[in-house]
Amino acid sequence: MKLHKYFLILPLLCLFIFGCSSEDKTDGDAAHSASKDAALREYNIDVKKEQTKNRFPCDTIALQEYVLANYPAGSYILERDRMGINDVPKPVVVYFNDGGNFVLTLVAKSKSGERNVEIKNLSGYESSFINLDSTKLGTAFLWLTLFEVIDEQFNMVWESEVPIHGGFNTITLKTWKPKNIKYVEVNFEDGIISGHRNYNFFMIDGWRKPPHLMETYVGIVHKRNMANVNNDKFPDYFEYRFAEDSSRIRVVDSIPFYWSEKRKLYITNRSPRWFRQY
């Protein structure tokens, strides 16, 4: 009878020991991967330091060091897509002076609990399909981030999440002419809609306040154009509807959406049930 009890307990004990050892191994692998990634990035930064002849305080190399030292593991400055076989990807960093010495960049943060993302999988047309199944390659959260350089130090002003994480193409500083408001256009290629998307970050109250996000896009049967619908300080847009058959595609309607400061949503007079977050 006692021997029978031992045979029942032994498998449970083995399962417990195996589970603990597996968990320890997983944690150990994750820690090893993070330290290996950090070591590789430090090595690459050192190589860039040796190869870069003209440096200045708070340059791109210094910003990469700052992200490595101050952000969670698996955080990177996004890089532009390669333009050719021999092209070296360049970090997405924009320096400008507009009431302060500002540095604008896109930071990719890896989702906790998943594998660290690879920034090469976040830029260009092919990477626009990563949104269909991102878990195999890790999930990235992109943040448009503004730093101000004060006394040769980076000071974060704000960071604003970009609602997409694949297909990055360009970042451009622009001005919305109807209200003379500066905004940052972050352009993504989008193979899913056969077109592109722009996430537009408007500096409604200047550079030191968090921006207002508004999306526009163009595809085969997708279109949203920036507009000034109700003449307030917030940008608006027209959303188009299409009809398609075997012979043609045509626009059948355009719906004006405008920003409701009270509801913090884009709404339209066509229907109270139609609203958009950005």
Please give the structure tokens belonging to residue 137.
Answer: 């390659």
CB neighbours of residue 206 within 10 Å: 12
Question: Would 152 be classed as within a structural domain?
Answer: yes
Of 30-34, 48-52, 133-137, 140-144, where does mean pLDDT reach its minimum? 30-34
Query: Is the pLDDT confidence value at 181 over 60?
Result: yes
Question: Would 122 be classed as within a structural domain?
Answer: yes
In sequence order, the 6+-apart residues with CB closer than 8 A to the CB of 156 are 145, 146, 147
Split at pLDDT 50, 70, 90, the class of 33 is low
Question: Would 86 be classed as within a structural domain?
Answer: yes
Question: Would 238 be classed as within a structural domain?
Answer: no
pLDDT in tens, 226-278: 999 999 999 999 999 999 988 899 999 999 999 999 999 999 999 999 999 99
Split at pLDDT 50, 70, 90, the class of 34 is low
Question: Would 10 be classed as within a structural domain?
Answer: no
pLDDT for position 249? 92
**How far lies 102's CA from each of 94, 95, 169, in Å?**
8, 6, 21
pLDDT for position 220? 94
Split at pLDDT 50, 70, 90, the class of 221 is very high
pLDDT in tens, 45-81: 888 888 888 899 999 999 999 999 999 999 999 999 8
Question: Would 251 be classed as within a structural domain?
Answer: no
Q: Which residue has the higher pLDDT, 188 or 27?
A: 188
Question: Would 13 be classed as within a structural domain?
Answer: no
Please give the structure tokens belonging to residue 151.
Answer: 């006394």
pLDDT in tens, 11-20: 444 444 444 4
Question: Would 179 be classed as within a structural domain?
Answer: yes
Rounded CA separation 101/157 (Å): 11
Split at pLDDT 50, 70, 90, the class of 201 is very high
Full domain range(s) for residue 26: 18-219
In sequence order, the 6+-apart residues with CB closer than 8 A to the CB of 245 are none
Q: What is the pTM of this model?
A: 0.85
pLDDT for position 10? 47
DSSP letters along 36-73, please?
HHHHHHHHHHHHHHHH--S--TT-HHHHHHHHHHHS-T
HSE-up of residue 111 (Cα within 13 Å, Cβ side):
11
Question: Considering its fold, how many domains does the chain have in total?
Answer: 1
Query: Is the pLDDT confidence value at 122 over 70?
Result: yes
pLDDT for position 13? 45
User: What does the pLDDT average to over 103-115?
Assistant: 94
